[in-house]
Amino acid sequence: LQKAAEQLKPSAPIKFHISSRTDSGVHALANAAHLDIQRAPGKAPFTGLQLLQGLNHHLKPQPIRILRAQRVSSTFHARFCALSRTYIYRLLLGCAHRSQIPVFEQDLCWAPPGGPLDIPAMRAAAQLLLGTHDFSTFRSPRAEAAAQSPVRTLQLLQLQPGHGLLGQHHLHRGLEFWEVKVKSKSFLYRQVRRMVGALVAVGQGRLAPAQLRELLELRDPRALPPHATAPPEGLFLHSVEY
C-alpha cells in the first residue's frame, strides 16, 4: 500500500499507518489505515474517490482493495484511535483428513484432527477468559513480546455456527463450520491464536475448562505448549471500530 501511494506522485514522503498488523498467513476482511499525502503546489488535494481509484489502480494484482476513503482530522490515528478490533477464527469440524477440506476453503480455516468438539465445554471455558486479565499465558513466548503490558480486556469471546464461503450446500455430509468471535481494544502478539488453540484443546477433552482458568492465572507463556497455538490460516481480522 505504501508503494501504491508513492505511485500517486506526492510532493513529500508518505506517512502511512495501519490499524492492526497480522501474522503471515492471517487474513483481513477489513482493515483501516491512514496516510498523510501532499500534492505538488497548484494541484488540488485528492478527493476520497480519487484516492480510492488511484490506490486500487496501483495495487493490481495484489489481493487487497480499498473499499472507502475519506478525509479525517489531523488528530486521527488509525491505530491509536481504534475503540476495538474484532477477529473471527474459522473452524471446520468433521474432517478425518485434510483432503476432506473443500478446495475453496483451503488455507481459510482450521480443521482440528480428532473428531467432534465439545462445544458446550468450549463455551464454558470462553466465559472464564472474558473481562480484564493479565493474559501473559496467551502471549507469544518470544522475548520481544514481553515489552507489552499483558493486561487486556476481552469484550466478547463466543462460539457460533459458521458457514462455508459458498454456503453449506457444497460441504460433505458431516462437515460443519464454527466460528470463534473475539473483540477487544487491542490484543497481545498471537493472543487470539493461542486462546483458540486452548479452547480447541478443551473441546477435544485434553483440557478441562477449569484448567484453562488455572493457565490464565499462571501468567506464564511457557505454560501453554507451543503446539497449542492455532494455525494462522483460520484467523481473520473482521473489523476495526472507531
Q: What is the DSSP string of 167-187?
A: -GGGSPTT-EEEEEEEEES--
Active-site pick, 23, 36, 107, 220: 23
Residues 6 or more apart whose CB falls under 8 angstroms from that of 112 comprise 91, 93, 200, 203, 204
pLDDT, residue 172, reads 66
Global pTM value = 0.89
Strands of the chain (E only): list them. Answer: 15-18, 27-28, 33-36, 84-93, 131-134, 151-161, 176-184, 235-241
87 is in an annotated binding site: yes
Is 23 noted as a catalytic residue in this protein? yes
Cell reading at 39 = 500534492
Ordered by start, the domain boundaries in the chain are 1-59, 84-241
What average pLDDT values come out for the chain (242 residues) when binned by 10 residues?
Answer: 86 87 88 90 90 93 91 94 97 88 91 92 97 96 78 97 75 84 96 97 95 96 89 96 96
pLDDT, residue 52, reads 93
Q: What is the CATH code for 84-241?
A: 3.30.70.660
pLDDT, residue 47, reads 92
123 closest CA partner among 88, 80, 160: 160
